[in-house]
Structure 1
Amino acid sequence: MSDTSITHSLMGGKLHVYKRPGSSFWQCSAYEGGKNRRATTKEESLARAKQVAEDWYLELRGKLRSGEIKTEKTFKDAAAQFEREYEIITEGQRNPLYVEGHKRRLKIHLIPFFGPMGLSEITPGQVQEYRIHRHEKAVKERGKPPARSTMHQEIVCLRQTLKTAVRHGWLQFMPDLSEPYGKSGKIAHRAWFSPEEYKQLYEATRRRVRAPKRPRYKWESEQLHDYVLFMVNTGLRPDEAARLQYRDVTIIEDTASGDQILEIVVRGKRGVGYCMSMPGAVLPFQRLIKRNKPEDRTEPLFPKHHRQLFNTILDEEKLKFDREGNRRTAYSLRHTYICLRLMEGADIYQVAKNCRTSVEMIEKHYAIHLRTSIDIAAVNVRRERPQPVQKPRKSNPDGR
C-alpha cells in the first residue's frame, strides 16, 4: 500500500496524519470545537510530520480553551446570512438604495468592529463600546460625531443581523441594544420656505430664466424654475421626482373645484403610490413637455438634478439656512408643500395620504411649529363664573 492511502492515528485517535494524492507533504486533522480542522505539516518525513502534528494539536486545544478560536457562529457569519436573506425577501418591497445602505453599514462599520466576535459575546456593553468607537473615530476623521440618525440606522442594521442569528438558532436571545443615559431627542421642525420666502425663491428662479448668466445655461435655468414650482405643488420627494417619467403624469379635472390638476403615479422608497397635485403644477408640466419634446413617454421629467444652480440661488437670496440654522435642500420643497397645505386648513390625514407618509410624522415634524395648528377658540375659551347665591337673612324672634 502506498503512502498516499495510509492514515496514521495519534493522541488516542483524536489526531490523524495523512497524505493527499499528488502531494509530497503530510497533512494532519482533528475534530475539535464542533468542526473538523486541518493543517499541513509541510514535512515529507513521516516521523517529523507526527511531531509537528502533535504540536499543532496541543496548540489547537490550548487556543480553544482560551477562547482564541471561536466554536460558535461569529457576527460575520450572521451578517453574511442577513445580507443573503434581506435582499431576496425584500425584493420589490424596499428601495434598492435602502438595501444597499445596510450592506454598506455592515461592510464599513459593523463587521470591522463585531466581525470576529462570537454572537454570544455581543453584549449591551459591547454595543456601548461600539457607540463610543464610532464617536471617537468620526471626531478624529471628520471633526464632528456621527449624526443621531446615522447611529440609529447602524443600530437598526445591527438589530436585524442579530435577529437573523436568533431565527437560525445561533443566538439564544437578543441583547439589549437601547442607548443608556438616553434622553428624548429634540423635535426640530424640518427646513421649509414660508410663503414670503417661497415667493422670493420662485421670483429669483424666474429672473434667472429671463437673464441667465450665460446663454448655454438657459435650459437649465428653465428646468430649475419649473422644478421648484412642480415640487412645491406636488410634495414629491427628490428621489421620487428623479424617477418620474412622462407616462407617470396625467392631466385630469378636479371634480370638486373644476380646476385642472396632475394625477401622478409615484415610485419611491415606499413602493408605488399616487399623488394629486395642486393646480399650480399643471403649467410647469406643460412647459416641460413643450421644452423637452419627449419622443418616448418613458423619458424622465427631470433628467438632471440642478443641485449646483439651486444652491447658488439660495446663497444669492440668503435662503440657504432658516432662522434655526437648518440647511435647506431640494427636500425643503416637499416640506413647504406640506406646511402650506396645513396652513390653508387641509385635512392632515389627506395630506399624509397624498404625501405617502403618516399623520404621526406630519404632527411631529411639520404641524408642531405652525401657528395654524393651534385652535385659538379652544385655547382662549372663557367660562362665566357662577354668581354666589345670597342666602336670605333670618329675622329675629322679636320682629326686629
Structure 2
Amino acid sequence: MAEKHTILGGKVHVYKRPNSSVWQCSTYMHGKNRRVSTKEESLAKAKEFAEDWYLDLRGKKSRGELVSEKTFKQAAERFEKEYEVATAGERNEVYVRGHKARLKNHLIPYFGDLGLSQITPGKVQDYRIFRLKEDPDFKPPSRSTMHHEIVTLRQVLKLAIRHGWLAALPDLSEPYRASHKVSHRAWFSPDEYKTLYTATRENAKKAANKPWRHSAEQLHDLILFMANTGLRPDEVNRLEYRDVSIVDDEATGETILEIEVRGKRGTGYCMSMSGAVVPFQRMRKRNSPEATDLLFPHDHKKQFDRILSETGLKIDREGNRRSLYSLRHSYISFRLLEGADIYQIAKNCRTSVEMIEKHYAVHLKNSIDTRAVNVRRSNRR
C-alpha cells in the first residue's frame, strides 16, 4: 500500500510508490492530473518541493502559460488504431507491425509523456543522439533504422495535425547531414551470376539422395526464375501457378513467361526472359501443383545465404550485402548492359525511370547516344 499525505488543504498529494525510496507529488489543475517526482527521500523536503511546484503551476495558469494538450503517447495510440484500419489490405502486415514496434520500443518511452508542442526539432535531435549512444555494449542503429523511426514519428505528428492537436509539423530533417554519393545497388555481374547458379546446381546434384533434395532443387530454380523475370522477393512469394502462362512472343520469336504480378504496387504484368521457362517447367513437373498452389511456398533465405558465403559472393566490392533482392537488381542491370530501353524496363519491373536512373546509373553507358553527345560545331570562315 502506497504511503500518502495531503498538503495545502488537500490540493496536493505527496505519496511514495511501492519499492521506491523517493516521494512523488500530484495535483489536478486546468482539466488534467499532473504529477512529478520530488526526487527527495525526506518527507519534509518532499512537501517543500510539492508546495513550490504547486504554486509555480498556479502562477503559470494565471498567466495563461499552462496549456492542456494531448501527449505524444495519446496521439500514438490513436495512430495505431487508425492506421491499421485505414490501410487494411493496402499495406503489408510486416510494414504495419514495424510502425507498432518502433512506437512501443523506442518512440513512446522517449516522447510519450511530452505534450505534442514540446516535440521540437531540438528534441528530435536529442532523440537521435540518445539512440546512437543508448547502450555502448550494442551496435548503434543504422541510418536506415533511424530513418524508419523518424518516418513513424512524422506519421504520428501528421495525425495530430489532422485532429487539431498540433498547429504545424516541426522540422524533422537531420542536421549536419552530408549529401551521399550515388552508388548502385548490390547485384551480380554476369560472371558472378554464373558462379552462383553453377553452385546451386551442384548443390542440388549433391542432395540427390538426401531429405533436402526438393528444397535444393527449388532454390536453384528460384535463382534462375528471379534473375530472368526481375520480380521482387515479396512478389515471388505471392505467385501462384495460375498467375504464370507460357506464351510464344511474336516480337522476339521466343517462348517466354507471361506473369500476373501482385506486389506492393498492386497488380501488374511481367514478360520474362526465355531463361525463366525451363525452371518453371521443372517446378511444374516436380510439384504436380494445383492452380492455386504457390510457386515457392517455403523460405529459402538461409539456404541462399549459405551458398553466398560458400562462394564468397555475400559482399560486393563496395561492401554491400547481397540478398535475394540482388537478383532483381541483376536482371535490371543485365537489361541495361544489353542496351534495352529504360522505359520498357521500368514498365516490366513495375518501377519508375527515375528509380532506375538513380540506382543503376553505372550500367547506363550503353543507352547513351554518342552521336548526340559528341557533337562538334563546324568552324565558320
Same fold (TM over 0.5): yes
Q: Which residue of 1 aligns with 2:81?
A: 84
Matches within 5 A, 1:216-231: 216-231=211-226
Separation (CA, whole Å) in 2 of partners of 1:213 and 1:72: 67
- What one-letter code is carried by the residue in structure 1 that aligns with 2:132? H
The 3-state SS of whatever aligns with 2:292 is coil
Distance verdict in 2 for CA 1:65–1:230, change over 3 Å = farther
Post-superposition CA distance 1:349-392 (Å, at most 9, x none): 22112212221111111134443244333444444444x5xxxx
- What one-letter code is carried by the residue in structure 1 that aligns with 2:68? T
- The answer to whether the 8 Å contact 1:254/1:260 transfers is yes
Which of 97, 100, 105 is equivalent to 1:100?
Answer: 97
Q: Which residue of 2 aligns with 1:174?
A: 169
Q: Which residue of 1 aligns with 2:108?
A: 111
The 3-state SS of whatever aligns with 1:192 is coil
How far the C-alpha of 1:80 sits from its partner, in A, is 1.0
Distance verdict in 2 for CA 1:367–1:119, change over 3 Å = same
Q: Which residue of 2 aligns with 1:348?
A: 342
Post-superposition CA distance 1:296-350 (Å, at most 9, x none): 3222111222223222222222222221121111110000011111122222122
Distance verdict in 2 for CA 1:269–1:369, change over 3 Å = same
- The answer to whether the 8 Å contact 2:255/2:274 transfers is yes
Distance verdict in 2 for CA 1:301–1:70, change over 3 Å = farther
Matches within 5 A, 1:227-376: 227-294=222-289, 296-376=290-370
Matches within 5 A, 1:55-66: 61-62=54-55, 64-65=57-58
Post-superposition CA distance 1:92-128 (Å, at most 9, x none): 2222221221111111111111111011110110011
Distance verdict in 2 for CA 1:70–1:297, change over 3 Å = farther
- What one-letter code is carried by the residue in structure 2 that aligns with 1:306? H
Distance verdict in 2 for CA 1:369–1:129, change over 3 Å = farther
Q: How big is the alpha-carbon RMSD for the aligned residues of Structure 1 and Structure 2?
A: 3.0
Distance verdict in 2 for CA 1:337–1:245, change over 3 Å = same
Post-superposition CA distance 1:216-259 (Å, at most 9, x none): 23222211110011001111111211122212222223232232
TM-score (norm 2): 0.81
Which of 177, 193, 198 is equivalent to 1:203?
Answer: 198
Q: Which residue of 1 aligns with 2:138?
A: 142
How far the C-alpha of 1:213 sits from its partner, in A, is 8.2
Separation (CA, whole Å) in 2 of partners of 1:135 and 1:224: 38
TM-score (norm 1): 0.78
Structure exhibiting the larger radius of gyration computed from Cα positions: 1
Q: Which runs of 5+ in 2 are unaligned?
A: 1-7, 12-25, 35-47, 61-65
Identity of aligned residues (%): 62
- What one-letter code is carried by the residue in structure 2 that aligns with 1:238? P
Matches within 5 A, 1:13-92: 32-35=29-32, 61-62=54-55, 64-65=57-58, 71-92=68-89
How far the C-alpha of 1:63 sits from its partner, in A, is 7.5
Q: Which residue of 2 aligns with 1:183?
A: 178
Count of paired positions: 345
Distance verdict in 2 for CA 1:61–1:270, change over 3 Å = farther
The 3-state SS of whatever aligns with 2:174 is coil
Separation (CA, whole Å) in 1 of partners of 2:59 and 2:180: 43
Distance verdict in 2 for CA 1:64–1:225, change over 3 Å = same
Separation (CA, whole Å) in 2 of partners of 1:341 and 1:66: 71
- What one-letter code is carried by the residue in structure 1 that aligns with 2:126? E
When structure 1 is superposed on structure 2, of 348-357 and 372-381 the one drifting more is 372-381
Separation (CA, whole Å) in 2 of partners of 1:166 and 1:224: 48
Separation (CA, whole Å) in 1 of partners of 2:90 and 2:211: 41
Matches within 5 A, 1:379-398: 379-386=373-380, 388=381
Is 1:133 the equivalent of 2:130? yes
Separation (CA, whole Å) in 1 of partners of 2:57 and 2:272: 65
Distance verdict in 2 for CA 1:282–1:325, change over 3 Å = same
